[in-house]
């Protein structure tokens, strides 16, 4: 029988969670490493809907992309909060395993999946920080088209709601950089390797800074830029566990409509 620790080790061999910054709580967050596992759930984020689905159709282990507990927690009480969802998982005897920036940087992970959306050529990694331990969570590669072409790809894949584009739509693009989630901190690095950065959560002031560097921004939203990697996460968990895996990534944690 496989244990929680077995699954965590198998996933770690793919994602190397030991090579992540201290602020990212990857690895086992809840549960007993020695507990046996027969059924695994995989989700984008541990939302109320995900926990309710698990309570109706139990799993032994839940693998999530977004950490549930991101900050130090002093109380785990019933109600509606990250702590309360932790309480419900513990009560249901569900262990929780997190893979986040380690899956962004992993081969075939979130960053590679987002890059594949644009059929980039000669894809290369960027965005790592040796000082903090952050892996290469971004990718860049060759592209043939205009900023309007990139906008069309994003709109076709995610829909027009919430997509923001900054730059000359008629400009020819030779290289595109992508960062899943929140990639505004990598604007300066992206400007050195590409003419466009596709990422989420870019503020007005960071967009102005990007334009000053000659970098256009396409921002479909935080969740949207991560979504292409979720099928890859489900596939990876199946490969490392050889157990029944329940795909809960279709329960979208999008907070905007």
The answer to whether 104 and 181 are in contact (CB under 8 A) is yes
- Of the chain, the percentage scoring pLDDT greater than 90 comes to 93
- pLDDT, one tens digit per residue, over 177-233 is 999 999 999 999 999 999 999 999 999 999 999 999 999 999 999 999 999 999 999
Contacts of residue 180, defined as CB under 8 A and 6 or more positions apart, other chains included, come to 104, 110, 111, 113, 114, 137, 199, 200, 225, 226, 228, 229
Q: Which pLDDT band holds residue 72 (cuts at 50, 70, 90)?
A: confident
Which of 66-80, 93-107, 189-203 is least confident? 66-80
Q: Which pLDDT band holds residue 161 (cuts at 50, 70, 90)?
A: confident
The answer to whether 198 and 177 are in contact (CB under 8 A) is yes
Residue 256, pLDDT score: 80
Q: Name the 3-class secondary structure at 143.
A: strand
Pick the CATH number of 2-100+228-247 from 3.40.1390.30, 3.40.50.80, 1.10.10.1800, 3.40.630.10: 3.40.1390.30
The answer to whether 160 and 153 are in contact (CB under 8 A) is no
From-to residues of CATH 3.40.1390.30 in the chain:
2-100+228-247, 104-222
pLDDT for residue 22 is more than 90: yes
Residue 159, pLDDT score: 83
Mean pLDDT score, 46-75:
96
Residue 158, pLDDT score: 86
Among residues 70, 42, 44, which one has the least CA distance to residue 253?
Answer: 44
The answer to whether 89 and 41 are in contact (CB under 8 A) is no
pLDDT for residue 257 is more than 80: no
The model's pTM is 0.95
DSSP string, 196-230: EEEEE---HHHHHHHHHTT-EEEE--HHHHHGGGH
Class of CATH domain 104-222: alpha beta
Rounded to 5 degrees, φ, ψ at 170 are -90, -5
């Amino acid at each position: 029988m496989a244990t929680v620790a077995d699954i965590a080790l198998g996933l770690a061999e793919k994602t190397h969670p030991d090579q992540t910054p201290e602020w990212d709580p990857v690895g086992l967050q809840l549960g007993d490493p020695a507990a046996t596992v027969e059924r695994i759930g995989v989700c984008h984020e541990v939302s109320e809907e995900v926990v309710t689905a698990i309570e109706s159709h139990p799993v032994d282990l839940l693998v999530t992309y977004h950490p549930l507990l991101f900050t130090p927690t002093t109380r785990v009480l019933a109600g509606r909060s990250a702590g309360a969802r932790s309480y419900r998982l513990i009560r249901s005897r569900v262990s929780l395993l997190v893979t986040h920036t380690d899956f962004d940087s992993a081969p075939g992970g979130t960053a590679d999946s987002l890059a594949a959306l644009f059929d980039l050529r000669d894809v290369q990694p960027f965005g790592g920080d040796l000082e903090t331990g952050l892996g290469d969570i971004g990718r860049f590669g060759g592209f043939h088209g205009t900023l309007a072409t990139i906008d069309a790809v994003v709109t076709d894949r995610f829909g027009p709601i919430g997509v923001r584009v900054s730059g000359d739509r008629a400009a020819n693009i030779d290289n595109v950089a992508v960062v899943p989630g929140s990639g505004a901190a990598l604007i300066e690095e992206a400007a050195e390797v590409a003419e466009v950065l596709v990422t989420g959560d870019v503020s007005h002031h960071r967009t102005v800074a990007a334009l000053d560097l000659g970098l256009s921004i396409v921002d479909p939203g935080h969740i949207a830029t991560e979504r292409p990697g979720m099928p890859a996460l489900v596939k990876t968990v199946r490969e490392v566990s050889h157990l029944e895996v329940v795909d809960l990534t279709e329960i979208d944690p999008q907070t905007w409509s």
